């Protein structure tokens, strides 16, 4: 296979990014420490650090104690050098956070938006935030639909945005770099950032929602997008003779009259494949988790508090034993989706700031 050519300019950008990331991870570091941790030669590190200091991107935070020679100078990122904006759209709300160059939240808020009718309502929202925070250089935008290279191509609740190039549109309207991400991909990234202790975890973040389920899938630490960027559109998974996953969710909820199901096979109209003693929603979720076990064997499956409570999650866990051995059932977690969603978008925005010139 032909190797991809990397230009000297691209290589230089990668080296600068690695130095920035090490300073972000460590909080502060000397040139020698950066060179060792980033595996970059000391002369190269010294040259780039001096340049970044001259640009006021980093600053001297102190000097280490002498071990007999010259005292080493310690550097850190300037938190006010550049800012990022993480924002997601859901129904008629735009929920956002502004972060500094260290990823710290400066402001969080929510505003009403008529995005379904006019894309420029988001432009107006962002411009109002930019007036307060003019150093914002990156926007990470979360949307409830499938995204390929900034283009939304499967976003059922917003027909006006079918095959719409959001990235190009907003970069032409706003003085910022724009990344567009699927909501559940951002959520699984956010959970990984906050809680995953494994270096390269395999995680699935599931949201049932009111308009159809979706999932974010992380395998060995990387988001899975699929050959056509359709990964995570789990509504279409067939589960019973006449029901896919989305239909099973709706039937289970409607038949039970509760948040997590109490309907029987006869009440739901299913055939004998559905155990008569098993609530449809719980069984459907158990089948979904068990399918994940057989295909990708995740460390954890994350559910949303909007969808289920702790009792329901434990019922799903018990029901999984009908399909897979107990030792392979992943950890089932209940989380606040909004927190993880914003955390994931903040991570995307910060990574974009680290890449910028």
The percentage of residues in the chain with a pLDDT greater than 70, rounded to a whole number, is: 87
C-alpha torsion 247→252→253→255, nearest 10: 120
| pLDDT reported for residue 195 | 78
Structure tokens at 170: 């907003």
Distance, CA of 178 to CA of 352 (rounded, Å): 9
Does pLDDT of 148 surpass 90?
Answer: yes
**pTM of the complete model:** 0.87
Q: Residues 19-77: pLDDT tens digits?
A: 999 999 999 999 999 999 999 999 999 999 999 999 999 999 988 776 666 778 999 99
In the prediction, which pLDDT does 6 show? 42
How is residue 80 annotated by DSSP?
T
What average pLDDT is seen over the chain? 88
Whether 8-77 and 83-188+340-355 share one fold: the answer is no
Out of 1.10.10.10, 2.40.110.10, 3.40.710.10, 3.30.200.20, select the CATH number for domain 8-77: 1.10.10.10
Structure tokens at 181: 């991400």
Helix (H) or strand (E) holding 29: strand 29-30
User: Shortest CA distance to 287 belongs to which of 311, 255, 252?
Assistant: 252
Tell me if 49 sits within 8 A of 19, measured CB to CB: yes
Backbone phi and psi for residue 346, each to the nearest 5 degrees, phi listed first:
-65, -40
Contact 291, 245 (CB under 8 A): no
Write the CB contacts of 210 (distance below 8 Å, at least 6 apart in sequence): none
Statement: residue 355 has pLDDT above 80: yes
- For residue 71, the model assigns a pLDDT of 79
pLDDT tens readout for residues 250-299:
887 765 433 333 333 333 333 444 443 358 899 999 999 999 999 999 99
Mark 28-46 as b/e (b = at least 16 C-beta within 10 Å). ebbbebbbebbebeeebbe
**Which of the pair, 11 or 176, is modelled with greater confidence?**
176
Q: Domain 198-337 in CATH: superfamily? A: ATPase, nucleotide binding domain (3.30.420.40)
| pLDDT confidence of residue 270 | 37
Of 127-141, 198-212, 257-271, the range with the lowest mean pLDDT is 257-271
Which range, of 88-102, 124-138, 256-270, 273-287, averages the lowest pLDDT?
256-270
Domains of the chain, residue spans: 8-77, 83-188+340-355, 198-337
- The contacts of residue 112 (CB under 8 Å, 6+ apart) are 92, 93, 94
Q: How confident is the model at residue 91 (pLDDT cuts 50, 70, 90)?
A: confident
Q: Give the CATH number of domain 83-188+340-355; options: 3.40.50.150, 3.30.420.40, 3.30.1490.110, 3.30.950.10.
A: 3.30.420.40
Burial of residue 296 (CB within 10 Å: 0-12, 13-18, 19+) is middle
pLDDT at residue 110 in the model: 96
Contact 71, 63 (CB under 8 A): yes
d(CA 309, CA 65) in angstroms, rounded, equals 53
């Amino acid at each position: 296979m032909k190797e991809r050519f990397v230009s000297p300019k691209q290589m230089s950008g990668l080296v600068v990014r690695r130095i920035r990331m090490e300073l972000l991870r460590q909080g502060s570091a000397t040139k020698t420490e950066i060179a060792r941790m980033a595996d970059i030669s000391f002369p190269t590190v010294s040259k780039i650090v001096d340049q970044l200091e001259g640009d006021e991107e980093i600053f001297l935070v102190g000097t280490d104690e002498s071990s007999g020679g010259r005292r080493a100078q310690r550097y850190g990122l300037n938190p006010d050098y550049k800012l990022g904006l993480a924002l997601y759209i859901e129904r008629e709300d735009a929920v956002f956070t502004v972060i500094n160059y260290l990823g710290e939240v400066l402001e969080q808020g929510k505003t009403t938006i008529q995005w379904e009718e006019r894309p420029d309502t988001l432009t107006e929202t962002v411009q109002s935030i930019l007036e307060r925070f003019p150093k914002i250089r990156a926007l990470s935008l979360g949307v409830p639909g499938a995204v390929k290279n900034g283009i939304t191509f499967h976003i059922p609740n917003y027909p006006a945005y079918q095959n719409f190039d959001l990235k190009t549109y907003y970069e032409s309207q706003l003085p910022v770099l724009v990344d567009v991400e699927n909501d559940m991909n951002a959520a699984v990234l956010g959970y990984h950032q906050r809680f995953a202790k494994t270096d390269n975890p395999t995680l699935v973040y599931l949201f049932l929602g009111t308009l159809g389920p979706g999932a974010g899938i992380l395998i060995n630490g990387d988001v899975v997008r699929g050959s056509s960027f359709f990964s995570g559109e789990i509504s279409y998974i067939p589960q019973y003779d006449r029901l896919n996953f989305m239909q099973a969710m709706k039937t289970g909820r409607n038949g039970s009259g509760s948040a997590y199901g109490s309907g029987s096979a006869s009440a739901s109209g299913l055939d004998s494949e559905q155990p008569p003693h098993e609530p449809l929603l719980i069984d459907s979720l158990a089948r979904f988790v068990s399918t994940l076990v057989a295909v990708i064997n995740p460390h954890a499956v994350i559910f949303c508090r909007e969808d289920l409570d702790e009792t329901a999650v434990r019922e799903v866990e018990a029901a999984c034993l009908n399909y897979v051995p107990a030792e392979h059932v992943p950890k089932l977690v209940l989380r606040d989706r909004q927190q993880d969603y914003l955390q994931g978008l903040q991570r995307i925005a910060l990574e974009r700031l680290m890449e910028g010139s």
